[in-house]
Amino acid sequence: MRRREFIALAGGAAAAWPLTANAQQSAMPVVGFLVPIPLKPISNNLAGFRKGLGEAGFVEGKSVMLELRPGGGDQSLQERADDLVRLGVTVIMAGAPPAALAAKRATQTIPIVFTSGADPVKIDLVKSFNRPGGNATGFHIQFSELVGKRLSLLHEMVPQAERIAVLVNPAHPSDANATVQNATEAAGALGVDVQVFNAGTSGEIDAAFTNLMAWRAGAVLIGPDPSFFRKNAQIVSLAARHVIPTSYVVGGHVKAGGLMSYGPDLADMYRRAGLYVGRILNGEKPADLPVQQPTKYELIINLKTADALGLTIPATTLARADEVIE
């Protein structure tokens, strides 16, 4: 039962072919789309971006060209960013902080629109939120501030869980520390114990699940880290194997078999990013466009997974869900 319409992306996993001519010689503007992961997991985001461009008056193949540079190939992220600059693209859309930083290193002149879970001021993407001041602007997702809400929702679904494990990546200490702080504060209010488990690589994630089960965790909250987004299939599989309820940041995990997610509607945020790119293509400067935040958040629940876990989701929780997967 779907509560919200999503835009499907036909052929989202297909690799993008390079332009046959230099972008600077094209009769229409060219937008580079740079992300650190393959396109398939973010097909809804790319569809949202295309929708935003269309709402701004730019239709792919008619009034704008897209150069897709996803992850998963032989080129490094920096090499792909440098390649877009060599092509002379008009604007770069950079999804996630690593892509934004790679684009920023590659050019100080080509406009960049980013999405970032990290504070863009602290990582030197912009000078300030209201007046970015350089060649970059975009959207800041405050993932760590949603941890308390996610923990509360998880506790509603699994009230018998007295111990909740929190998985974070110590390679990104700023996000990890904020996640731990918010989880600890929320746990105190809920009367549950939380224990932090560190992981980043596939092997470390396997070990973390073994350790949290030995700790007798009753549920798991996955921290907002790009490495966990990339390894969603592994994490969902581990949660199913260990039969443990797990909370995720984005809906893709839930559609892959995870129990629940609460976070920003990324497809809508990418739509708004497409609108921002359209404004730049129409002559506005990124230095004058404030960094914005998501305005839509979504709760997604997988009832099939809940049944497999032996959980009965409260009717009040289901009523608040934006999408229920049956």
Residues of the chain within CATH 3.40.50.2300 domain(s) are: 23-142+265-297, 144-264+298-325
CB 113 within 8 A of CB 280: yes
Q: Of 118, 246, 108, which is closest to residue 176 (Cα–Cα)?
A: 118
| Statement: residue 37 has pLDDT above 60 | yes
Q: In what helix (H) or strand (E) does residue 68 lie, and over which residues does it extend?
A: strand 65-69
State pTM to two decimals: 0.83
The pLDDT of 182-201, averaged and rounded, is: 96
pLDDT above 70 covers a percentage of the chain that reads 92
| Statement: residue 4 has pLDDT above 70 | no
Regarding the domain with residue range 23-142+265-297, which homologous superfamily does it belong to in the CATH classification? Response regulator (3.40.50.2300)
Q: Give the 3-state secondary structure of residue 295.
A: coil
In this prediction, residue 24 carries a pLDDT of 42
Specify the CATH number of the domain 144-264+298-325.
3.40.50.2300
pLDDT digits (tens, 9 = 90+) for 39-69: 988 899 999 999 999 999 999 999 999 999 9
- Burial of 57 from C-beta contacts in 10 A (0-12 / 13-18 / 19+): exposed
Beta-carbon contacts of residue 310 (< 8 Å; ≥ 6 apart): none
How far is it, in rounded angstroms, from Cα 6 to Cα 8?
6
How far is it, in rounded angstroms, from Cα 259 to Cα 124?
36
The 10 Å CB-count burial string (b at 16+, else e) for 154-163 is: bbebbeebee
Q: Of 202, 81, 220, which is closest to residue 150 (Cα–Cα)?
A: 220
Model confidence band, residue 208 (pLDDT cutoffs 50, 70, 90): very high
Beta bridge partners of 92: 32, 112
20 compared with 82, residue with greater pLDDT:
82
- C-beta neighbour count of 20 within 10 angstroms: 6
Widest pairwise Cα distance in the chain: 63
